[in-house]
Structure 1
Amino acid sequence: MTLTTTLVPAEPAPRRSALSEPDRPPAPASPPVAAGRAGPRQGRDGFVDAIRALGIVAVVALHWLMVEATWDGSTLRVGNALGHGAGWTVTWLQTLPLLFLAAGAAAAYRSSRTLGLPGRWWRALGGSVLGAARPVVVLLGVWALAVVAMLAVGVPDDAVRRLARMVPQPLWFLGVWVVLVALAPLLQRAWRRWRWGAAGVVVALPLAVDALRFGAGIDGPAWANVLLAWAVPFGAGVAYATDRRDGRRAVPNGRSLLVTGALTALAGAALLIAVGPYPVSLIGMPGAEISNLAPPTAPVVLHAVAMVCLALAARPVLARWAEGAGRTVVRPLAQRSMTVYLWHLTAMFAVVGMVLLGFGQSLPDAWSADWWASRPVWFGAGLLVLAGLVRVFGRFEASRAGTTDAPTGTEPVGAS
C-alpha cells in the first residue's frame, strides 16, 4: 500500500496508469544542496520500487499460504494453516513494514515538491484518495453482485457471509495510509528539525501505548497503535526520502550498523515474547487471546524497525535489481500493485471454491506431504486467476497521467 506527483503537462497527456512511469521531478525546493556537493540526479527510486514489489508479493504469498478450509455441503469452516506446528515462523516474514516504508518515501517526495504550497498539497492528497477509492468501489460493487448471485444459486448463507466479511479486510491499510499521508508534511518538518530525536519519539509512542496496555492494564489507547505502530516504518520512509531530496546521505552510518540495529530489534521482539504476554505469531490466529496485529503490539513495532534496517542495508542491491534483472517484475507490479492487493483474496477464494465445490475435493491437511506437493499447483492456479482479474479490473487503476495516485503507486525521485 504511495503517491505519484501532480504535474501540469504542457499539452494534454495520454491516458495511462497513475502507477506507471512518472515524469521526472522538479529540482528540490528546500533546503539547497551545500556548495561543492553534487545535487541529486533525476529519475526513479529503484529501491522504493523494489521494496514495494517485494512487499506486495510477500503479502500475497503469506495470505495464500494461510488457507485452511473445509466444506461439508452446508457449512464452510475456515482456519489458518500457519496456526499449526512451526507455521508461526512464517509470520515473521510478513512485509507490511516494507509497504509502509515505500508509502512514506513516496509521500515525502511529493511533500518536498509542494513545500510552501499547502493548498496544492491538500488538493493532491484529495486527488490521491479519490484515485485510490475508484478500484475499491469497483471491488465492493463486484462482490455485492457476487453475493447476490451466490445466494441465488443456493450457496448457504453462512458461507456467503464468511466470504463477504473477509473480502474487505485488506482495506484497513488504505485507511491508515490516508491518515499517515496527511501527516507526511508534519513528519518531514519534524525530521528536518529534530532528526533522530523525532525518530525516537515516533518509535517510543507505540511502545508506550503497549506498556500502558500490558503493564498498567489501561486498554483504552491500545487501538491508537493501528496508526502509531505503522507510523514507524512510514516515518522511516519519510526520513529516507527527505534526506535524498535534500542531497543528504540517504543511508547514514553504514550497513553494519543497520544490520546490528535489525538484529537488536529482533532480539528485543523475541525477548518480549519470551517473558511477556505476547503470542509467538506476528499475526492473529484463530482462538488466540491476544493478536499481535489487532492492535499492533511492541513485538510488531520492533519487527518493523528490523525490517526497515534490513531493507536500508540492502538498498544498493535492491536498487540495482529493480533497475536490472528485476525490472520485469517491478514494473508490472508498479503499474497494477493496487489491483493485485485488492483482488488477491478474491483469486484465492476462487481457487478454494473450485476445489471444494467444483471438484468436490478437500484441501490437504496443512504441512502434510500432500500439502507441500500441492503448493506449486496451488500458487500456479492462484496466479492464473489473479492475472485474469488484474487484466479485467486493472483498467480502473488507470487515470490521467499525473492527476491521481494510489497507496501502492510509484514515485519519481532524485537518486543519490
Structure 2
Amino acid sequence: MLLLNRYTAVPEHQESTRASFASSVFNIMHAIMGSGILGLAYAMSNTGIIGFSLLLLVVAFLAAYSVHLLLELCGQTELTSYEDLGFYAFKTIGKVMVAGAILIQNIGAMSSYLFIVKSELPTAIAGFLHHNYNGSPWYLNGQILLLITVVCVVLPLALLPKIEFLGYTSGLSILFMVYFAIVVIVKKWFIPCPLFNGTMNYVQNFSSDECKPKLLHISTKSAYAIPTMAFSFLCHTSVLPIYCELRRPSKSRMQKAVNIGITLSFSVYMLSALFGYLTFYGKVDSQLLHTYSQYLPRDTVIMSVRICILFSVLLTVPLIHFPARKAFMLLFISNRPITWLHHIAVTLAIQTAIVLLAMYVPSIQNIFGVVGSTTSTALLFIYPGLLYLKISREPLKSLKKLQALGLIILGFLVGAISLPVICITWRHSENVA
C-alpha cells in the first residue's frame, strides 16, 4: 500500500521559505485568534469590566511567559515541537501527555468552530431569504446544514495529504476578526438600552440597573472566564514551528514576535468583549453573534460579519485538523508506517468526533469551559512549567524554576476550581431545561 511521508500534517519547510519578522507576528496572531473571541463578552458579563480586564491581562502575560519557557527549552535541547519536548523530559509518558492534550484541545477548537456553523449558518440563510427562522425547513436546520458542510467542504480538505494553500487564508481570518471587532464597536451606538425583544419592539418593563455595566461580578458562571481566556490565548503548539521558520532565528527575536502578537490579539479581544458587553449587558449570549441575531436578525452589516466568520471557520477547521491527526498518530500508530488507510481512517474518526460534539453540546460556553479548564490550561500553564522544571539545568531554587512551579500550581488551581463548577452548572442547566 502507498505510504505517506511521516505525519504529513506538518509540511517540511526549506531554508528558502524562511519567514520575516512581520509574517511571524502575523502567524502567531492567526494561531491565537479564533472562535474564543465570540465568548469573551459573555465572560465579561460574568466577571465585570474590571474583573475581566485584570484576568485577561494576567492570562495574556502568563501566555507570553510560558512561551518564553518553551523557547528557553528549545534553545537548550534544539528540539522543535511540543511533543518532542515532552518525550525529551518524560520519555513516552511525556509524549503521551502532550500529544493527548493537543489532540483533545484541537478537537475542542474544531468543535467550537463547527458549533458556530450549526448556529450561524441557518440564521445567515434565513436572513438572505427574509425568512423568520424557526428551524422547520431542512435548509434552516442547523444539524443538517452542519453535516452537509462537513461532508462537502471540511472533509475533502482535511483528507488532503498537504494543505499548504489554505495557509494563505490566515490573513483573511485575521482581517475578519478585526472587522468583527470594528462592527461590535460601531453597533454599540446603534443598539439602544433597553434592548429590543424578539419581535423588535422595545422591552417595556425593565430595570434601570440592566443598562449599567458591572465593574466586578462573581457568580457560578464566572468559572467560565479563565478557561475561555486560556482557550483564546493558546498558541503554544504553533510557536516552535513558527520559530523554526523565522528568518535569523533567535530567542529574543521570537519572544518579541510573540509579545507583539499577544498584545495585538489582546487589544482585539478586549475591544470586542468590552463593546459587546456594553451593547447587551446581562443579556449577552455565550456566542456573541447569536445575540446580535436575536435583536438585529436582518441587519446587513451583521449578516456580512456572520458570512465572514463562517468563511473563516470553514477554512480554519481543516488546518486545525492536521496537528490533531499528527497527535493521534503519535499516540496510537507511532511505530508503524503511515499508509493512506491510516490517513483516511484517522481523518474520519476525528471528523466524526467533532461533528457529534458540535451537534449535541448545548452551548459553546461548555466547549470553552471544559476544554479551556483542562487541556488548554495544561498546555498554557502546567506543561511549560513542568517541562522547564525537568529539562532546565538551573538550580531548583532559581527564580525561573520557582516561576515555573508557580505556573504549574496556578494551572492546577484553575482546573480544580473551574471544571467542577462548570460541570455542576452544566448539569443544573440541563435539569432546569
User: If the length of structure 2 is used for normalisation, what is the TM-score?
Assistant: 0.28
User: If the length of structure 1 is used for normalisation, what is the TM-score?
Assistant: 0.29
Higher strand share: 1
